[in-house]
Chains A and B, each alone.
Chain A
Amino acid sequence: MDKFTTLTGIAAPMPLVNIDTDMIIPKQFLKTIKRSGLGKNLFDEMRFTQDGKEIPDFVLNQPAWRKAEIIVAGDNFGCGSSREHAPWALLDFGIRCVISTSFADIFYNNCFKNGILPIVMPEKVVKVLMEDARKGANARMTVDLEAQTVTTSDGQSFAFDVDPFRKHCLLNGLDDIGLTLEKVSAIDTFETGAAQSRPWV
């Protein structure tokens, strides 16, 4: 997993609430057995017509946001299915950070496993960031994970919360499985105990 330290980039405004994982990556693209290459189908049915032409109104098709690395979104981003293809598609497109008032639980988890930082901000802050994002390519937003701040193109800075362990893993690009395997003796002990207390499992 790539580290996430600081990011300065274009933010795309997506004020729609309840952007679900079927919108982020429709099911016909889940047939892959790889993690890579999903960026071209990110938001497929919002981004392209049925015959594959770009829908000009869609934010990521507009010149100002084609190279966006941050999304500022409406409430409950990432609701729906557990498909990790959603963060894979975002990452493959080049999105490293999503900011919203709230995220669905599984999507939120999945982001951290892939070097994407999901940031929860209060509604009034999301409004300010949404306005900043609307400025497009002329503006750059800065996300600093170490300092836990988001700074708009005109220098307004907002603090955010992040779980310390997740922050540590993201800052250092750590692999969860490697960390857990350091505790393998605790797992062994647990299994021995459980075999006594709940032998039917």
Chain B
Amino acid sequence: MSGKTLYDKIWDTHVVDTQDDGTCLLYIDRHLVHEVTSPQAFEGLRMAGRKVRAPEKTIAVPDHNVPTTPDRVKGIENEESRIQVEALDKNAKDFGINYYPVNDIRQGIVHIVGPEQGWTLPGMTVVCGDSHTATHGAFGALAHGIGTSEVEHVLATQTLIQKKSKNMKVEITGKLRPGVTAKDITLSVIGATGTAGGTGYVIEYMGEAIRDLSMEGRMTVCNMAIEGGARAGLIAPDEKTFEYVKGRPHAPKGAQWEAALTWWKTLRSDDDAHWDKVVTLKGEDIAPVVTWGTSPEDVLPITGVVPAPESFTGGKVEAARRSLDYMGLTPGTKLTDIRIDTVFIGSCTNGRIEDLRAAAAILKGKKVAPGIRAMVVPGSGLVRAQAEEEGLAQIFIDAGFEWRLAGCSMCLAMNPDQLSPGERCAATSNRNFEGRQGRGGRTHLMSPAMAAAAAVTGHLTDVREMMAEAV
């Protein structure tokens, strides 16, 4: 019998019940909640007269709808958004769950707040009514998105009805080259496997290039596992993980810390574990990348040109034609010749302190190109405070960026931060779908450093050239 993967180990630790057909009841250690996908679930509990089974393991924060302009302390202008946030305020209070309201400095994007507050720990099961829950996999936690019916199920039972996924190994060997980041890794993997390449799998990322990443970088990689179709992405915990977790408000302390650490150190895939699928990329082959189309799989190195639809096969030919029409791009155009209107730095993919540092390093002493609208939206109030303390905020402001309050913002444009039809955006978020950042808006996904470089030049730019300048 072969050994176990990390996913196998976490799964086995959390099985409450197994039916004859293999359907399992899986125990959930942490349930994160935001305002958009939870109101119907709480309403369902009320109608059935049910309580939240484990309110101490349930954490809520409003993030999707909240304005990010400084005047938000005065309240939310959009009525529907306000009602949704008020519903969460009320549900959190009525059901007694942990809550970070909009004006708490700890408020932020749920996937940034969870790790920051030490709610997310290695070996846990973590769910949230949000597909980017995969982010928490960076800690060696089994974390994935669920629908609202499942949110209600977890609230009522602290379990989820699940069938086990298959195991997929994604190995990034060797070292990354200068200017190449976690975002380039995760986009390049999706480019290689396609947006359905991970469907039915849980991915474990491994290899030297993954080990070398900071916790922030690992969160960026796992965050986009869902964009590759996988249920979850995982990275085995190591000293960096333990160092990050230690001392956080909800991390274990004293003897419990020691006990936890002993177990966490066993959380790695056995050498003889069975993998149903293996994908290997060489770290040194990965370039700074951007997306050109309307699917996260539409990835190319920044040195490339807009592809011709005919260069694809099957249904992708028509999809690429539609994408290029939507994006207003002509095949053969150099990617670096694409002019932009807007820059968005933020989101659960790239709204952490390291992301802001990377962007600020490019922007220091420079200005945003004339006519470009540029904004930075920190992932949490604490990230924002830290960036102010480190002097990063001033660099952004001096360069001509708007310095915003924390929230999901223009990643999905549920708040007032939206693109207009035809407006082209260099974005550090995770989805370039049609209309994602606003109806008719055109999104190019990239790393924070690449987005900062584009802000300075006004067109998609190879950040490595700007780094050479700096030397």
Contacts and interface: CB of A to CB of B under 8 A. Distances in A.
Interface of A: 15-18, 20, 22-23, 26-28, 30-35, 45, 50, 74-76, 79-84, 87, 102-106, 109-110, 113-114, 163-165, 176-177, 179-181, 183-184, 186-187, 190-191, 194, 198-201
A187 B27 contact: yes
Contacts of A32: 80
Contacts of A81: 130-131, 145, 412, 431
Interface stretch (B35-43, B333-341, B352-360, B459-467): B35-43
B105 to A, nearest CB: 25
Contacts of B80: 31-32
A113 B25 contact: no
A199 B159 contact: no
B16 A183 contact: yes
Interface of B: 13, 16-17, 19, 21, 23, 25, 27, 29, 36-37, 39-40, 43, 48, 50, 53, 57, 64-65, 78, 80-81, 83-84, 87, 121, 123-124, 129-131, 133, 144-150, 152-153, 156-159, 161, 163, 195-196, 199-200, 226, 229-231, 252, 256-257, 259-260, 263, 295, 314-316, 318-319, 322, 412-414, 421, 431, 433-436, 439-440
A28 B84 CA distance: 12
B11 to A, nearest CB: 14
8 contacts: A33-B43, A33-B84, A45-B435, A79-B195, A81-B412, A187-B27, A187-B157, A191-B158
Contact of B147 (A16, A84, A201): A84
B315 A74 contact: yes
Given A31-B78, A105-B231, A109-B150, 10 more contacts: A16-B319, A28-B414, A31-B65, A34-B40, A84-B147, A106-B144, A106-B226, A177-B156, A186-B16, A190-B27
A177 B52 CA distance: 12
A52 to B, nearest CB: 12
A33 B39 contact: yes
A31 B433 contact: no
A121 to B, nearest CB: 14
Contact of B200 (A105, A164, A198): A105
Contact of A164 (B21, B83, B148, B413): B21
B40 A187 contact: no
Given A183-B25, A200-B121, A82 B16 contact: no
Nearest to A178: B48
Given A81-B131, A187-B157, A76 B199 contact: yes
Contacts of A201: 29, 57, 121, 124
Contacts of A33: 39-40, 43, 83-84, 87
Contacts of A163: 21, 23, 163
Contacts of B318: 15-17
Contacts of A180: 25, 153, 156-157, 159, 161
